[in-house]
């Protein structure tokens, strides 16, 4: 069958005319390896399915010779279902064509395909999959000596941090096994450049986002090695192992055995190619080395590369036809058929600010349609905000598909509380806690209750968050050794503890001043609460009470934020929410009772199957989905500081060190000016930067400048990913988008969207967005 006839049959079966770009991809994809650079809503999945059907109709290739790989089970099932539906329609419309006898292509997730290759080896033929490493935590905890522990975090928190690092090392390709350093990775070479030691400890310090204690690497190695032993004993492998062990097999004696197992596939499609990581790409290279320059078709959108925390990197899609497969062809799918014109056009100026991206001229299919709104958050009741009024109205009065999207998983807790309180049913992706169940919320509630009830137990449980583990240890030991009145109240307990500060041992303790200050401030709060209980006028009592609690907790909470034990955005959400509650209530008891009622409501809804039309998702969970109406909540500067935007303009993430140094040398009078800019932009490790630039040693100065380069490139890459995340969120909407942002601290990325298309935002004015 000729090409035109095949296209005509496909158009008849799918029920619409294909665009010129779509036809070009379908007809020409098999001539040599191809990148299909497909914008959001451009019909890329359809193009892949049509391409497989087209090859079969024109006798180029039969479907059972095709492998389609993607990243999620949902996407795999959707591709498979759409293929079967299209084939069935062609069979019905053209019974003379032997379509019904075609065998099916193989549709697989990366994990499933890698797992199936591994199981061909006798070592892994009976291995099952471990989907939850936390079941090994208790055993691993016993394996780590007490003298290596970090007293400021719980054992579970410590293991969570260890395995986040383990996942990052493997997904980024910094380590092939999570233990050794992969010096073949150019990124690792750059990270360890000018480092005296090329060790795992040095690498971990270089990529960590926070200051690690001196024993972290020792604990890390013990935990990972024990984890590997436990998996081997249970004959299980995890998702990292599917990559790691397959790569090891391809580099070892089993290379031919595994490569022979994929010989049947003459054409390979990779969907969502922007999400691929280092190890996945290198495995694909080795598995399909015979067809990688002729019959590898990768489909994706670099503007939707948002999974860096999982190891994905836009490098692979941006450089596919330049460095990875130099003779590959590129086709664009540049029409968005999903998102109405005004919504799409508002997002384009922002995403086009990213310099590290593939060029494509994105255009809407319906240029003049679409509604876009903006509304800011204040301390007033949520029900009074236009964002929520609009959400409540639409959910009760329309039959449209609706999604509430949030940047962070914990923000779903807040939205769930608001929807529950307003009797709006919703569906939520993944597990969800109420806001009241979050760790930060519990910290505030416990300490406020301790002062209100004059309760020793709750106070000691909260001590870690005020003065770290040393304060909790001091209170616990004082109570055990010196305080014999276990039924007494908190005020008497704290007053009695003051006597300890007259002893020689505590006077010589470096932290004694901090402990004394915390106790004195706590006694002042107790006096304040006691006084307020006697007064009849409670107008601002809880507001002032909450302010005092904030001051007491500030050092501890800031420390735990810096060390990523709690997140700064989550802390801010909880503080804002409680601040509003304190304005609303005049009685602490009323507040507590209402919180209990709200929890009962939430639990009743949580255990009930909901058929609500409102979908509650993070932006990452919503990727690949579409909704008639999208409500985007909480666009604040928590994700990205305004100074970072300026850094990204001047130093885009793909800038070479040579270009960076030339720009700094030509633009700034001294390197100390660069250090001052980094301070202004709230960047980490600025103390070390100042010390390095003040040195007289040229080697130290050059090393410091290189350190600045890596820090700034990291920030710049974060800015570009945040743009992509916001772009993904905005392009989930088909007909209407409503954006909620902070009144005093809106996301600086909102300055970059075309606000002339957004009702409620004045054009490019961050201070007067509404």
Number of separate helices (H) and strands (E) present in the chain? 31, 16
Alpha helices in 196-263 (DSSP H): 200-207, 216-234, 239-250, 255-260
Element (H, E) at 737: strand 733-742
- 44 marked among binding-site residues: yes
Give the span between the Cα atoms of 257 and 529, in whole angstroms. Answer: 74
| Token pair belonging to 706 | 């290189």
Give the span between the Cα atoms of 188 and 172, in whole angstroms. Answer: 10
**160-172, pLDDT tens digit by residue?**
999 999 999 999 9
Closest CA to 117 of 280, 235, 292: 280
Complete DSSP assignment for 493-543:
HHHHHGGGGGSHHHHT-TTHHHHHHHHHHHHHHHHHHHHHHH-S--TTHHH
Distance between start and end Cα atoms, the chain: 59
Residue pair 641/569 in contact by the 8 Å Cβ criterion: no
> pLDDT-derived band of residue 605, with 50, 70 and 90 as boundaries?
low
Q: Is the pLDDT of residue 580 over 60?
A: yes
**155-206, pLDDT tens digit by residue?**
998 999 999 999 999 999 999 889 999 998 988 988 888 777 889 999 998 8
Give the span between the Cα atoms of 327 and 386, in whole angstroms. Answer: 53
Mean pLDDT of 729-735: 97
Q: Is the pLDDT of residue 763 over 50?
A: no
Letter string b/e over residues 209-223, b meaning 16 or more CB atoms within 10 A of that residue's CB: eeebbeebbebbebb
> pLDDT-derived band of residue 436, with 50, 70 and 90 as boundaries?
confident
Q: Is the pLDDT of residue 769 over 70?
A: no
- The mean-pLDDT minimum among 269-278, 623-632, 738-747 falls in 738-747
**Residues in contact with 130: Cβ distance below 8 Å, sequence separation at least 6, in sequence order:** 231, 234, 236, 237, 238
Mean pLDDT of 540-566: 87
Question: Tokens 């137990």 — which residue?
Answer: 457
- 511 marked among binding-site residues: no
Residue pair 279/174 in contact by the 8 Å Cβ criterion: no
Give the span between the Cα atoms of 78 and 433, in whole angstroms. Answer: 29
- 41 marked among binding-site residues: yes
Strand partners, 70: 109
- 430 marked among binding-site residues: no
Mean pLDDT of 278-304: 95
Letter string b/e over residues 10-26, b meaning 16 or more CB atoms within 10 A of that residue's CB: beebbeeebbebbbbbb
Residue 696 is classified by DSSP as S
- 368 marked among binding-site residues: no
**Residues in contact with 319: Cβ distance below 8 Å, sequence separation at least 6, in sequence order:** none
| Token pair belonging to 756 | 């002339």
Complete DSSP assignment for 316-382:
HHHTIIIIISTT-EEEEE-EESSS-HHHHHHHHHHHTT-SSS-----EESSTT--EEEEEEE-SS-G
Other residues' Cβ atoms within 10 Å of the Cβ of residue 726: 26
Dihedral sign, Cα of residue 582, residue 585, residue 589, residue 591: negative
Task: Write out 252-290 in H/E/C secondary structure.
Answer: CCCHHHHHHCCCCCCEEEECCHHHCEHHHHHHHHHHCCC
> pLDDT-derived band of residue 764, with 50, 70 and 90 as boundaries?
very low
Residue 745: predicted pLDDT = 81
Q: In percent, how much of the chain has pLDDT > 90?
A: 57
CA angle (624, 630, 636) in 5-degree steps: 100
Q: Is the pLDDT of residue 738 over 90?
A: yes
Closest CA to 227 of 363, 319, 136: 136
Q: For residue 131, which phi and psi values (nearest 5 degrees)?
A: -100, -5
**402-414, pLDDT tens digit by residue?**
999 999 888 888 8
> Radius of gyration over alpha carbons of the chain, in Å?
29
- The mean-pLDDT minimum among 63-77, 711-725, 737-751 falls in 737-751
Look at strands 236-237 and 128-129 and give their pairing.
parallel
Question: Tokens 């109406």 — which residue?
Answer: 629
Q: Is the pLDDT of residue 34 over 70?
A: yes
Residue 504: predicted pLDDT = 52
CA separation (Å) from 356 to 305, 367, 504, 649, 754? 11, 27, 61, 12, 21
Q: In percent, how much of the chain has pLDDT > 70?
A: 93
Dihedral sign, Cα of residue 230, residue 233, residue 234, residue 239: positive
Residue 636 is classified by DSSP as B
**511-534, pLDDT tens digit by residue?**
788 888 999 999 999 999 988 887
Give the span between the Cα atoms of 48 and 298, in whole angstroms. Answer: 10
Taken in order of first residue, the domains within the chain and their CATH numbers are: 3-109+255-337 (3.40.50.300), 128-234 (no CATH), 439-500+509-602 (no CATH), 642-723 (no CATH)
Other residues' Cβ atoms within 10 Å of the Cβ of residue 539: 9
**606-627, pLDDT tens digit by residue?**
656 556 789 999 999 999 999 9
Mean pLDDT of the chain: 88
Letter string b/e over residues 743-756, b meaning 16 or more CB atoms within 10 A of that residue's CB: eebbbbbbbbbbbe
> pLDDT-derived band of residue 488, with 50, 70 and 90 as boundaries?
confident
3-state secondary structure of 734: strand
Let me know if 707 is exposed, middle or buried by CB neighbors in 10 A (0-12, 13-18, 19+).
middle
Residue 214: predicted pLDDT = 85
**Residues in contact with 495: Cβ distance below 8 Å, sequence separation at least 6, in sequence order:** 523
Give the span between the Cα atoms of 32 and 28, in whole angstroms. Answer: 8
> pLDDT-derived band of residue 558, with 50, 70 and 90 as boundaries?
confident
Q: Is the pLDDT of residue 765 over 60?
A: no
Residue 308: predicted pLDDT = 92
**40-53, pLDDT tens digit by residue?**
999 999 999 999 99
- Residues written for the chain: 770
Alpha helices in 425-501 (DSSP H): 439-453, 456-481, 490-497
- 42 marked among binding-site residues: yes
- 43 marked among binding-site residues: yes
Q: Is the pLDDT of residue 313 over 60?
A: yes
- The pTM assigned to this predicted structure is 0.89
Write 89-97 long-range contacts (CB < 8 A, 24+): 89/13, 89/14, 90/9, 90/10, 90/13, 90/53, 93/9, 93/12, 93/13, 94/9, 97/9, 97/57
Give the span between the Cα atoms of 591 and 118, in whole angstroms. Answer: 56
Q: For residue 400, which phi and psi values (nearest 5 degrees)?
A: -80, 155
Q: Is the pLDDT of residue 379 over 60?
A: no
Task: Write out 293-310 in H/E/C secondary structure.
Answer: CCCEEEEECHHHCCCHHH
Give the span between the Cα atoms of 139 and 198, in whole angstroms. Answer: 31
Q: Is 566 left (phi over 0), alpha (psi -120 to 50) or beta?
A: beta
Other residues' Cβ atoms within 10 Å of the Cβ of residue 28: 14
Give the span between the Cα atoms of 515 and 510, in whole angstroms. Answer: 10
Dihedral sign, Cα of residue 157, residue 160, residue 164, residue 166: positive
Other residues' Cβ atoms within 10 Å of the Cβ of residue 381: 12
Residue pair 370/344 in contact by the 8 Å Cβ criterion: yes
- Sheet containing strand 66-70, edge to edge, reads 106-109, 66-70, 267-270, 296-300, 34-38, 329-333
CA separation (Å) from 654 to 230, 306, 554, 709, 714? 41, 17, 38, 11, 10
């Amino acid at each position: 069958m000729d090409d035109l006839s095949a296209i005509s049959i496909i158009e008849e079966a799918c029920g619409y005319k294909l665009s010129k770009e779509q036809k070009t991809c379908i007809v020409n994809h098999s001539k040599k390896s191809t990148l299909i650079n497909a914008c959001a809503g451009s019909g890329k999945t359809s193009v892949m399915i049509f391409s497989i059907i087209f090859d079969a109709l024109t006798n180029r290739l039969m479907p059972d010779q095709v492998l389609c790989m993607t990243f999620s089970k949902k996407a795999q099932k959707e591709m498979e279902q759409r293929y079967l539906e299209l084939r069935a329609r062609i069979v019905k419309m053209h019974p003379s064509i032997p379509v019904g006898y075609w065998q099916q292509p193989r549709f697989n997730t990366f994990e499933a395909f890698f797992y199936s290759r591994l199981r061909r080896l006798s070592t892994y033929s009976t291995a099952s999959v471990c989907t939850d490493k936390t079941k090994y935590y208790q055993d691993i905890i016993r394996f780590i000596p007490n003298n290596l522990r970090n007293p400021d975090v719980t054992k579970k928190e410590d293991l969570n941090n260890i395995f986040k690092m383990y996942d990052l090392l493997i997904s980024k390709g910094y380590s092939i096994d999570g233990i050794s350093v992969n010096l073949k990775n150019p990124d690792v070479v750059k990270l360890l450049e000018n480092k005296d030691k090329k060790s795992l400890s040095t690498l971990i310090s270089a990529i960590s986002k926070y200051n690690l204690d001196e024993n972290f690497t020792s604990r890390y190695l013990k935990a990972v090695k024990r984890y590997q032993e436990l998996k081997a004993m249970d004959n299980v492998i995890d998702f990292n192992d599917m990559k790691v062990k397959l790569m090891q097999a391809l580099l070892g004696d089993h290379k031919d055995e595994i490569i022979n197992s994929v010989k049947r596939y003459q054409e390979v499609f990779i969907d969502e190619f922007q999400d691929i990581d280092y190890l996945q790409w290198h495995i694909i290279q080795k598995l399909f080395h015979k067809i990688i320059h002729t019959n590898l078709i990768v489909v994706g959108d670099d503007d939707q590369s948002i999974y860096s925390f999982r190891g994905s990197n836009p490098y692979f899609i941006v450089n596919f036809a330049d460095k990875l497969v130099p003779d590959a062809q590129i086709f664009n799918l540049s029409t968005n058929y999903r998102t109405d014109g005004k919504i799409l056009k508002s997002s384009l100026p922002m995403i086009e600010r990213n310099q590290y991206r593939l060029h494509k001229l994105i255009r809407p299919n319906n240029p003049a349609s679409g509604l876009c709104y903006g509304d800011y958050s204040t301390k007033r009741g949520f029900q009074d905000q236009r964002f929520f009024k609009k959400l409540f109205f639409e959910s009760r009065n329309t039959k449209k598909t609706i999604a509430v999207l949030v940047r962070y998983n914990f923000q779903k807790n807040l939205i769930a509380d608001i929807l529950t309180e307003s009797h709006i049913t919703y569906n939520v992706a993944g597990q969800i806690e109420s806001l009241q169940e979050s760790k930060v919320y519990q910290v505030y509630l416990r300490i406020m209750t301790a002062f209100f009830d004059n309760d020793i137990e709750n106070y000691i449980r909260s001590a870690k968050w005020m003065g770290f583990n040393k304060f909790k240890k001091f209170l616990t030991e004082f109570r055990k050794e010196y305080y014999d009145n276990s039924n007494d109240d908190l005020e008497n307990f704290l007053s009695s503890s003051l006597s300890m500060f007259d002893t020689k041992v505590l006077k010589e303790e470096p932290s004694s001043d901090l402990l004394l200050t915390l106790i004195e401030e706590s006694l002042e709060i107790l006096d304040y609460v006691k006084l307020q209980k006697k007064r009849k006028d409670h107008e601002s009592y809880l507001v002032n009470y909450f302010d005092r609690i904030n001051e007491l907790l500030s050092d501890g909470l800031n420390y735990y934020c810096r060390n990523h034990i709690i997140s700064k955005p989550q802390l801010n959400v909880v503080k804002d929410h409680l601040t509003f509650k304190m304005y609303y209530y005049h009685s602490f008891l009323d507040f507590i009772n209402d919180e209990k009622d709200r929890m009962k409501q939430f639990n009743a809804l949580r255990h009930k199957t909901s058929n609500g039309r409102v979908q509650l998702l993070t932006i990452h969970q919503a990727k690949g989905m579409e909704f008639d109406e999208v409500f985007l909540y909480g666009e604040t500067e928590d994700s990205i500081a305004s100074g970072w935007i300026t850094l990204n303009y001047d130093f885009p993430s793909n800038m070479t060190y040579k270009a960076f140094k030339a720009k700094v040398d030509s633009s700034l009078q001294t390197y100390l000016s660069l250090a001052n800019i980094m301070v202004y932009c709230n960047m980490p490790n600025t103390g070390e930067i100042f010390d390095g630039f003040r040195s007289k040693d040229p080697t130290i100065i050059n090393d410091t400048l290189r350190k600045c380069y890596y820090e700034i490139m990291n920030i710049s890459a974060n800015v570009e990913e945040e743009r992509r995340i916001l772009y993904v969120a905005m392009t989930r909407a088909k007909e209407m988008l409503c954006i909620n942002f902070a009144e005093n601290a809106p996301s600086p990325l909102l300055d970059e969207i075309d606000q002339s298309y957004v009702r409620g935002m004045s054009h490019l004015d961050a201070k007067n967005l509404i």
